[in-house]
Amino acid sequence: MHWQSLIQAGVDEAFRTTLGLVDLVEPNDLDWKPSTGDNWMTTGQVLMHLTTACGVGFKGAVTGDWGMPDGVDLSELAPEDMLPPADKLPTTDSIDAARAGIEADKQLALDVLASLSEEDLANRPAPVPWDPEVVSLGRRLLQMVHHLQAHKSQLFYYLKLQGKPVNTHHLYGM
């Protein structure tokens, strides 16, 4: 299997399954978060994070543009500013807006992937501000797919904890 087809399959599967889980969220559950422990995102914050969990990372890994405001250098941010506590994270105001954002992130991932050659994916280094290890672009993009999958799993467990009738089929999009 080549990088293009491997990453494309990962993108298609992760986004399809994620959107299936988003369809199970109810508007009155956007403020829900686990009741024990601390630093949990709300369901709305998880949905908002899913809108930038993959494609935005693809773009950043390829172009170095991480979407930071003018004058902000991501490599100069303190760790707590790079990964703020949950109560500082943005949320979505609607499931429809989150769904549209997730679909846009998928399209961004596919557009970025289509712009790359097998040679780029196999051999081009892809440094990122939070990881000192320089890996190939193909491997870095797969990490972005895994990032989406991790938060998809978070949404699955949020739904399960909310008492929604989800099971392994929902988690893997079967």
Asked if residues 55 and 101 have their Cβ atoms less than 8 Å apart, the reply is no
Architecture category of domain 3-32+41-65+88-172 in CATH: Up-down Bundle (1.20)
What residues contact 146, with CB distance under 8 A and at least 6 apart?
Answer: none
Comparing C-alpha atoms, which of 107, 89, 90 is closest to residue 19? 107
List the chain domain ranges: 3-32+41-65+88-172
Compute the half-sphere exposure of residue 146: CA atoms within 13 Å on the CB side of its CA. 6
pLDDT of 88 reads: 86
CA–CA separation, 45 and 63 (whole Å): 26
pLDDT of 62 reads: 95
DSSP 8-state symbol, 33: -
Considering only CA atoms, give the Rg of the chain: 17
Comparing C-alpha atoms, which of 161, 158, 118, 163 is closest to residue 21? 158
Mean pLDDT in each 10-residue stretch from start to end of the chain (174 residues)? Answer: 92 97 97 93 97 96 79 68 80 97 98 97 90 91 97 97 94 88
Strand, helix or coil for residue 53: coil
pLDDT of 91 reads: 95
